[in-house]
Amino acid sequence: SQTIHQWPATLVQPVGSPLSLECTVEGTSNPNLYWYRQAAGRGLQLLFYSVGIGQISSEVPQNLSASRPQDRQFILSSKKLLLSDSGFYLCAWSVEGGAETQYFGPGTRLLVL
Amino acid sequence: AQSVTQLDSHVSVSEGTPVLLRCNYSSSYSPSLFWYVQHPNKGLQLLLKYTSAATLVKGINGFEAEFKKSETSFHLTKPSAHMSDAAEYFCVVSGTGGFKTIFGAGTRLFVKA
């Protein structure tokens, strides 16, 4: 069966520090991968999606970047965090093609102080 | 263009009473529709999915939703609420490819004893 992992679960970082959040998927090949951010009391905002290694599309301009160095690994990064980067970050995967179901990881709670 | 509107930001019910979470969508073609549930500080879990088969879709934990094309609605219901149903629920519309997936703003369900 497929599983998706995210780490860390919780992170507290000072403003201006770098960020690296990791997401890995097991039990499937060539998944579509997604990064979402959920700010307090708000819905999900799609940040990045990837259809394959090295292929990243950004939905909104921001202080963050994403990379996919391996088929089942998706990394969310920042060189300098802002206060507004605080939120709950969710990684998701889906099979390629069609209006597919997305399966979510447990999320990372990021607090920037 | 696609859009999804969850008509209530909060719904409060008593344990044992019916649950109704409302969702309206807009899509220029036949969409796929989903309901996800999110418990506090957790990832999203798929409740059910509609993909142009039967209009009444049964999901996990006793939830079901009915696709009504004439009303462009996909409301989520459950005959009898349980305390463990207290969570946030997201209605999602998707077209061809998950990249066009749009999440509603969410409805927080409170269940009173």
**What would the pLDDT profile of A28-40 be if each residue is shown by its tens digit?**
989 999 999 988 7
> What stretches of chain B adopt beta strand conformation (E)?
3-6, 10-14, 19-21, 23-26, 32-38, 44-50, 56-58, 64-68, 73-78, 87-94, 102-103, 107-112
Q: Which residues of A touch B95 (CB under 8 A)?
A: 99
Q: Which residues of B touch A100 (CB under 8 A)?
A: 94, 97-98
Tell me what the mean pLDDT of segment A78-100 comes to.
87
Amino acid sitting at position B33: L
Q: Which residues of A touch B3 (CB under 8 A)?
A: none
- pLDDT tens for each residue of B18-42: 999 999 998 877 788 999 999 988 8
CB atoms A90 and B97 under 8 Å: no
- Say how many Å lie between the first and final Cα of chain B, rounded: 41
Size of interface A-B (CB pairs under 8 A): 54
Residue B97 has pLDDT above 80, yes or no: no
How close B11 comes to chain A (CA, Å)?
Answer: 15
B90 touches A: beta carbon within 8 Å: yes
Average pLDDT, chain B: 91
CB atoms B103 and A44 under 8 Å: yes
Q: What is the pLDDT of residue A99?
A: 58
Helix (H, G, I), strand (E, B) or coil at B103: strand
DSSP labels for chain A?
A: --EEEEE-SEEEE-TT--EEEEEEEES-SS-EEEEEEE-TTS-EEEEEEEEETTEEEESS--S-EEEEEETTEEEEEESS--GGG-EEEEEEEE-SSSSPPPEE---EEEEE-
Residue with tokens 């005959």: B79
